[in-house]
Amino acid sequence: PTPIFLKNTIMFASSARLATRAAPLGVVGAAAFLSATPVEAKSAVDISAVRKDIANLIETDAAKRDDGTSYTGTFVRLAWHCAGTYSKADNSGGSNGARMRFNPEASWGANAGLGGARDALEPLKAKYPDLSYADLYTLAGVTAIEEAAGPTIPWRSGREDMPSGESSPPDGRLPDADKGNPPKTIEHIKAVFNRMGFSDRQMVALSGAHALGRCHENASGYWGPWTFAETTFSNEYFRLLIEEKWTLKTTHNGKPWTGPVQYEDSTGKLMMLPSDVALLQDAELRKVVELYAKDEDLFFKEFSAAFSKLLELGVPFPKAWWKFW
């Protein structure tokens, strides 16, 4: 005979299936939590197709530029800044809502240059109208990293869009590259990441996204890429940070440098921000930089977990049924 506890388990699962089949559309969601698979609000969208279209967009744009640059780094920054406003203290901010497409966030200095990335994704939003902007922006960053030979980033749909920027958090939640001196800069970036719920080690891991893309004078005021392979995700950012000699940039194209304080390597072709160099001047953070510089697999693993966490902060995903007890 079947043990009583197993009979109850079978009856419980059967009841869930019957409830889902028999219930009207309006109440199916009440039984949906019984599924072990997370419920996704936009399940009708073919996410694999969206990924392919994002990858094609990056590839097509890179071919048009023909200068070694692409949307890769910009899409990662788009996803990062969409999510990086989160505060664990009151659960405000984060990627849910995609408020960055409205003012005030669209006009924040930290988001300068991201309007072009949002515009580039508009045709995909039109093609997949049931996919939220918040899902599209975060998926663009995930796809960019994976297409750049980076780690697989756990990602799921289900974010919703806000109709305006009225609920945007206050400006100043995204990290600044320079607070005047290394101790203040380190204090600032630690406060930014700790506010979101990240450890200092996770902060360093996320900084590794600087392996991709470059800074533009017409956006941030800074100039140049962090690595010689700005469309390839790797631990090169950490290796270069440790192994190269970084000096203050004083000239640019034969003329005095008039931009903000930044550092350059011996060739003058690579750059580091004050917040990058500051990682070396904190003993504990430097240890993590050295660790990632030597072990790319470890960096990939820890970056993947931290970036996935970043993109989900503040998103009210439905809980799996076993998490209700």
Torsion of CA 134, 140, 146, 152, to 10 degrees: 10
Distance from the Cα of residue 32 to its chain's centroid: 29
For 116, the token pair is 């072009």
Contact 175, 107 (CB under 8 A): no
Contact 306, 205 (CB under 8 A): yes
Q: Taking CA 133 as the corner, what is the angle to CA 131 and CA 139, rounded to the nearest 5 degrees?
A: 75
What pLDDT is stored for residue 270 in this prediction? 98
Q: Is the pLDDT of residue 14 over 60?
A: no
How crowded is residue 156: how many other Cβ atoms within 10 Å of its Cβ? 18
**Exposure of 26 by Cβ count < 10 A (0-12 exposed, 13-18 middle, 19+ buried)?**
exposed
266 HSE (CA, 13 A, CB side) = 4
The band of 323, judged by pLDDT with boundaries at 50, 70 and 90, is low
3-state class (DSSP) for residue 189 = helix
Tens of pLDDT, residues 77-133 = 999 999 999 999 999 999 999 999 999 999 999 999 999 999 999 999 999 999 999
Active-site residue list: 81, 226
| Average confidence (pLDDT) over 173-188 | 96
| Average confidence (pLDDT) over 244-253 | 97
